[in-house]
A and B are shown apart, each in its own frame.
Chain A
Amino acid sequence: MDFRFDIVYEYAPLLLKGTLLTIWISLLGILFGSILGLVIGLGKMSPKRILNFPASAYINFFRGTPLLVQVLIVHFGVVPAIYGSTNSIIAAVLALSLNSAAYTAEIYRAGIQSIDKGQREAAYSLGMTNRQAMRHIIIPQAVKRMIPAFGNEFIVLIKDSSLVSIIAVPELMYWGKAMQTQYYKIWEPYLTAALIYFILTYSLNKLLGYIERKV
């Protein structure tokens, strides 16, 4: 097997651009996903059915259907319905955000519910309102426990973002496929793409380990 480093070299600038876009859409996905996920997670924890039912339905839908299907629905359905025409990058960020919101909602819920109920009772017994107990007692403790789960979700999102190549977002996988189509080569584009994804997730993993030890 002759591995043609020359075509990898030729595609290097495009792969680099693609990698940067992969990082960007994943970052925006986890950012918007975390914000929306907080709202949905709080909704799911609410005892009021009018709040917890839609939140549960949302989580079930986005966790129970393939991301690929969600990407296609958002790209060909949701974005055109809002803007009149579609835009693949906006569709990609939107689909990833909506999807990760469902997972982060569960991270928030699990983190908050993992705090011993005695903590909340102690806060209440000291005259704190529900909001004060959350802000000063529950959330500061829960956030620490959420960090590893958030890290995992970010790593999953980086890998899953490769799916948006199907709607022609020029991210890393897109350029890998372009390279494969041009040269009819398998190993060069896909091994290179795999290696780059691995470097991203592995270094993120290390960074998270470091943050966990610090906190």
Chain B
Amino acid sequence: MIRVKGLSKSYGSHTVLKEINADIMPKEVVVVIGPSGSGKSTFLRCLNLLEKPEKGEIWIENTQLLAKGTDIPKIRAEMGMVFQQFNLFPHMKVLDNITLSPVRVLGRTPEQARTKAMELLRKVGLESKADVYPASLSGGQAQRVAIARALAMEPKIMLFDEPTSALDPEMVGEVLGVMKTLAQEGMTMVVVTHEMGFAREVGDRILFMDEGYVVEEGKPEELFGQPKHERTKSFLSKVLH
């Protein structure tokens, strides 16, 4: 569903991604782990071109994103993204946050968008928050709204960029719970996270990144059970207690 070939990206002389290759299958949950600064967020942000890579190819189904003339907004509309900092629109009520893009980008009628939004809010357990402004939500609630907002576009793929890193510990569970449900429903997901428990339980495949390389990848039981590379071992020994 997503195929990445030889993806490279640098900021000035600092190379953050070095010849990354990856394949993501439909309905697969791929979890990207690795130390800070390993390039995992940059990799994820390249997938919907929030970062422009210098080299390589990104195929989403039959479209090469980095080819000239690609309709980038259209590609992005088919991919949901959830950010570490939520990035809800503070000047709009929760419901309007969710309905804006379906109406403006997909051309849904306001009624259709509203019905869908309420359905999604029910799914993330926040029906009662439809008419409040984001400022009055807790971090966990804000992130669940952000997930609902992304789902309202009916994406084929969901990208999660450290979705729980900005949350108070007691709110991590509610967000991971929503993500787990989504995975069980068959959503194709790429998740950058430090939540090893989630990676192990929900991930179909783990990519371990370090210093801009995908060092190792495999099924969770393989990667967590018998890591092959020294760097993977050393990272896991630090994060698994």
Do B105 and A137 touch (CB < 8 A)?
A: no
Do B104 and A128 touch (CB < 8 A)?
A: yes
How far is A137 from B48 in the complex, measured between Cα atoms in Å?
19
**Binary contact track A97-136/B, C-beta < 8 Å → 1, others 0:** 0000000000000000000101101111111110010001
How far is A140 from B100 in the complex, measured between Cα atoms in Å?
14
- When distances are taken between beta carbons in the complex, the residues of chain A under 8 Å from B89 are 119, 122-123, 137, 141
Do B101 and A126 touch (CB < 8 A)?
A: yes
Do B91 and A127 touch (CB < 8 A)?
A: no
Instruction: Let me know if B219 is at the binding interface, CB within 8 A.
Output: no
Do A124 and B76 touch (CB < 8 A)?
A: yes
Overall SS of chain A's interface: helix
Complex partner residue of A141 from B79, B81, B90, CB under 8 angstroms: B90
Q: Given the interface contacts A126-B153, A128-B104, A132-B104, does A121 sit within 8 Å of B87 by beta carbon? A: yes
Query: From residue B2, how far is it (CB to closest CB) to chain A in Å?
Result: 15
- When distances are taken between beta carbons in the complex, the residues of chain A under 8 Å from B100 are 126, 136
Query: From residue A138, how far is it (CB to closest CB) to chain B in Å?
Result: 10
Instruction: Let me know if B80 is at the binding interface, CB within 8 A.
Output: yes
Instruction: Let me know if B150 is at the binding interface, CB within 8 A.
Output: yes
How far is A123 from B88 in the complex, measured between Cα atoms in Å?
9
- When distances are taken between beta carbons in the complex, the residues of chain A under 8 Å from B101 are 126-128
Interface residues on A, range: 10 to 19
How far is A144 from B91 in the complex, measured between Cα atoms in Å?
10
Do B105 and A126 touch (CB < 8 A)?
A: yes
- When distances are taken between beta carbons in the complex, the residues of chain B under 8 Å from A123 are 89
Do A125 and B91 touch (CB < 8 A)?
A: no
Instruction: Let me know if B21 is at the binding interface, CB within 8 A.
Output: no
- When distances are taken between beta carbons in the complex, the residues of chain B under 8 Å from A132 are 104-105
Closest B residue, CB atoms, query A126: B101
Complex partner residue of B85 from A118, A126, A129, A140, CB under 8 angstroms: A118
How far is A125 from B100 in the complex, measured between Cα atoms in Å?
13
- When distances are taken between beta carbons in the complex, the residues of chain A under 8 Å from B106 are 127
**Interface positions of B from 75 to 131, Cβ below 8 Å from A:** 76-81, 83, 85, 87-91, 100-101, 104-106
How far is A155 from B75 in the complex, measured between Cα atoms in Å?
47
Do A126 and B83 touch (CB < 8 A)?
A: no
Contact sample, A vs B, 23 pairs, CB 8 Å cutoff: A116-B85, A118-B83, A119-B87, A119-B89, A121-B83, A122-B87, A124-B50, A124-B73, A125-B76, A125-B81, A126-B76, A126-B105, A128-B73, A128-B104, A128-B105, A129-B73, A132-B104, A136-B100, A136-B104, A137-B89, A140-B91, A141-B89, A141-B91
* Residues of chain B whose beta carbon lies under 8 Å from any beta carbon of chain A: 48, 50, 73-74, 76-81, 83, 85, 87-91, 100-101, 104-106, 146, 149-150, 153
